[in-house]
Amino acid sequence: MTTEFLSELEKKIDSLIGNIQTLKQEKETLTSDIEVKTGKISDLETENSLLQEDLRSVKNSYEEIQKKLGSAADKVQSLLRKLDSIT
């Protein structure tokens, strides 16, 4: 083997080592980003569940209020009919 060949081989090995180090750093960055985004997803899923529960509660309250209003309207109509029959 010649000195030129060994020198070229050394340069290629150094380049490969540099590429490996760069890729390791990129992997660490991506792994960190994934962990952060996984945490955000978990937080959003929790918030979504809470909002869905709140929505169900609001819908139930709305339905109860609608029933009460319907009942009150029926009573008012009944009272108005009675009033009309008296006059």
Please tell me the predicted confidence (pLDDT) of residue 1: 63
Please tell me the predicted confidence (pLDDT) of residue 85: 87
pLDDT bucket at 8, cuts 50 / 70 / 90: very high
**Torsion of Cα atoms, 23 then 27 then 29 then 31, to 10°:** 180
Specify the pTM.
0.63
pLDDT bucket at 86, cuts 50 / 70 / 90: confident
Q: What is the pLDDT of residues 16-73, one digit of tens each?
A: 999 999 999 999 999 999 999 999 999 999 999 999 999 999 999 999 999 999 999 9
